[in-house]
Amino acid sequence: MMRGMVLTLLGVVCALGFSCPAQAQPPSALAIDLSQDHVDITMGFAGARFVVYGTKNQPGDIAIIVRGPDQQMMVRRKDDVGGIWMNRDSVVFDNVPAYYDVALSRPAREIASQDLLEDYDIGLDAMQFLVRDNVDETTQHNFREALIRNRQAHGYLPLEPAPILFVTNDFFRAVFDVPPDVPPGSYRVLAYLIRDGQIVGSQARELRVAQQGFSARIYSFAHDHALAYGLAAVLLAALAGWGAWAVMRRE
């Protein structure tokens, strides 16, 4: 009876919010953090660099992905029509990240199967772009390759995976470069611990990219008043052209 009263009293104490003995939680297999959780786009922004660092308490390979935000993109193909290059065919892709980069501790094919890589979008060859149009596989493949080449030329997709540097057996770091004209938005940093072809640990962090200062005011005005912004841009271009003409005429 005394034992029952003690247990009842202990339950009341716990219900009132006092600390109670709890079973220790096992440590996470993988933990990461960022050298900075935001990128500020200001006037003269020339890109940024940030570091993802982390630890693991189990053996395995590391894959780190930075991506976002997803958007829709149209890829067009030009053909020679009567001596004039014109846009003919086009394919619309969904689920295309505005920016994507990846860092691997080993080549992707040595880390996991192609199916697992595709499930988690690990590596360019594993990225799945949704196709809106009803096109055959050959056309889809050709337009997908063109999309990747165009995005790589602007720095939105990597030419190859970045390396992951192991400072110790369990402590690692990877460096990522953000291109100058990266669009603002919320970006996801995803890290995976992979062993024997399976995900045994994962962690996610958010990276915010935002306009700041005078650049932010211009960005907001352009989106909220697109027509006025367009007219102002045309007017400024005309004034600049007239000014250049006036200077050359004077000389």
Question: Is there a domain that residue 31 lies in?
Answer: yes
Rounded CA separation 44/78 (Å): 34
Question: Is there a domain that residue 81 lies in?
Answer: yes
Amino acid at 234: V
Q: Mean pLDDT, to the nearest integer, of 133-137? A: 81
Please give the pLDDT value at position 18. Answer: 43
pLDDT digits (tens, 9 = 90+) for 33-85: 999 999 988 878 888 999 999 999 999 999 999 998 999 999 988 766 666 66
When mean pLDDT is compared across 40-44, 195-199, 206-210, 221-225, the lowest value belongs to 221-225
Amino acid at 59: P
Rounded CA separation 152/60 (Å): 29
User: What is the number of domains present in the chain?
Assistant: 1
Question: Is there a domain that residue 93 lies in?
Answer: yes
When mean pLDDT is compared across 87-91, 141-145, 230-234, the lowest value belongs to 230-234
Question: Is there a domain that residue 158 lies in?
Answer: yes
Question: Is there a domain that residue 159 lies in?
Answer: yes
Domain that residue 151 falls in: 25-211
pLDDT digits (tens, 9 = 90+) for 234-243: 666 666 666 6
Question: Is there a domain that residue 245 lies in?
Answer: no
Question: Is there a domain that residue 139 lies in?
Answer: yes
Q: What are 156's two structure tokens?
A: 């939105």
Q: Are 73 and 91 in contact (CB under 8 A)?
A: no
CATH number at residue 191: 2.60.40.1930
Question: Is there a domain that residue 113 lies in?
Answer: yes
Does 221 have pLDDT greater than 50? Answer: no
